[in-house]
Amino acid sequence: MNILVCVKRVPDPGTKIELTADSRAVDTSKLGFTISPHEECAVEEAVQMIEEHGGEGTVLTLGLPESDAQLRDALAVGMERGILIETDGSDWDPGQTAKAIAAAIEEDQTRHGPFDLLMFGNESADSGGFQVGIRVANALDLPCITGVKSMEMEDGQLVCKREYGDGWEVYKIPLPAVVTVKEGLNLPRHPSLRGTMKAKKKKIEFVQPEKVSAQLVMNRLRHPAETSKEVEILGEGAAAAPKVIELLRKLEVL
């Protein structure tokens, strides 16, 4: 079972997100980078499925050359191959991104054979467009299920569940297919020392994409109006106990 997981390098901010002077991007000068939490689950799920059913995992991203760090993270937990669609740091809207990814997948399949399953995060942690997985499925003419929080193989088909109200929607689809997943699907593992060392030797292929014209242009980012928060410190150590009890009583917990 050959699985491709698409990930995106995103900033890893604290509670307060600083913007650049022109308000068109997050100021990442003091931030680290990671991949979106949904995608971490996608990688983990792919690794588990390959552990169970065999096959090879490939991880793909579109971004700056330094996004190879995020690919290595995925390679460290068990993916085998990386594909980096290299950009110059300019904006790529979901349509442009999906076009480039679809093209790269098609090209890769001509050399390495077809993927059985293409996985995406439901939406990215930074721009949150909710589109790339669906657009790639459309471009490659594959079935697509979004918002998946559980998946397993059954009789050669993929059974996916997604939350609906208080219950679940259950889908059974033939492969190849596209699935976009959500955090909670599993508990992603940390890389091991051994895996990290091995990842250094795994291959990452750099791809030069063609950039089609954009359909969406981001003008400006804005912080939402701050909901006022007030923190009251009730005290320190044992001295705080009576006030805590008083508060719990007031909240009718006690």
Partner 1 sequence: MSELPKHAHAVIIGAGIVGNSVACHLAKLGWKDLVLIEKGPLPNTGGSTGHASNFIFPVDHSKEMTQVTLDSLKQFKDLGVFRESGGIELARSEERMQELRRRMASSKAWGIDSSLISPNEVKKLFPWVDPDVILGGFYTPSAGVVDSLRAGTLMREKAIELDALKVFTNTEITDIAVKQGRVSGISTTRGEISTEIVVICCGVWSPRIARMAGASISLSPVVHQMIDVGPIAEFEDCTEEIEYPVLRDMDKFMYERQVGRNLEIGSYAHRPIIVRPDDIPSIEASKLSPTEMPFTKDDFDPQLEDAMELLPEMLDKDEVEIQYSINGLLSLTPDGEPIIGETAEVKGLWSCAAIWIKEAPGFGRMIAEWMTDGISEIDNHGVDISRLYEYARTENFVESRAEEAFNKTYGIVHPNEQWGMSRGLRVSPFYAREKDLNAEFYETAGWERPYWYNSNQKLLEEFSDRMPDRTQEWDARWWSPIIKAEHLAMRERAAMFDLTAFAVFDIKGPGALDYVQKMAVNQMDVRVGRSVYTPLLNDRANIKTDLTIMRLGDDFFRVVTGGSDGSRDKKWFSDHLPDDHSASLADMTSAVCTIGLWGPRSREIIQSLTKTDMSHEGFPFGSVQEIVLDRIRVHALRISYVGDLGWEIHIPMEYGQFVWDLLWEAGQPLGLIPSGIGVYGTTGRLEKGYRLYGAELDADHNPLEAGLARPKVKSQNFIGKEAYLEAREKEPDAIMCTLTVEDHKSASGELRFMLGGEPIVTLSDGKRIVDRHGRSSYVTSAGEGPSLGKYILMAYLPPEYVNNDNALAVEYFSELFPVRVAVAGGGSLFDPDNERMLK
Under 8 Å CB-to-CB from 105, ≥6 apart: which residues? 4, 60, 115, 118, 136, 140
Of residues 111 and 190, the one with the C-beta less far from partner 1: 190
Helix (H) or strand (E) holding 46: helix 37-53
Of residues 141 and 236, the one with the C-beta less far from partner 1: 236
* Minimum distance of partner 1 from residue 14's CB (angstroms): 4
* Minimum distance of partner 1 from residue 210's CB (angstroms): 30
Of residues 12 and 107, the one with the C-beta less far from partner 1: 12
Of residues 14 and 224, the one with the C-beta less far from partner 1: 14
Of residues 156 and 237, the one with the C-beta less far from partner 1: 237
Q: Whole-angstrom Cα distance, residue 27 to residue 11?
A: 9
* Minimum distance of partner 1 from residue 105's CB (angstroms): 27
Q: Whole-angstrom Cα distance, residue 114 to residue 136?
A: 15
* Minimum distance of partner 1 from residue 224's CB (angstroms): 15
Tell me whether residue 118 is exposed, middle or buried, using C-beta atoms within 10 angstroms of its C-beta: 0 to 12, 13 to 18, 19 or more: buried
Of residues 69 and 245, the one with the C-beta less far from partner 1: 69
* Minimum distance of partner 1 from residue 122's CB (angstroms): 22
For 81, the token pair is 């191959």
* Minimum distance of partner 1 from residue 19's CB (angstroms): 11
Query: For the CA atoms of the chain, what is the radius of gyration?
Result: 21
- Which residues of this protein are in contact with partner 1, per CB under 8 A? 12-18, 29-33, 69, 72, 189-197, 200, 231, 233, 236
Backbone angles phi, psi at 36, to 5 degrees: -60, 145
Q: Whole-angstrom Cα distance, residue 86 to residue 83?
A: 9
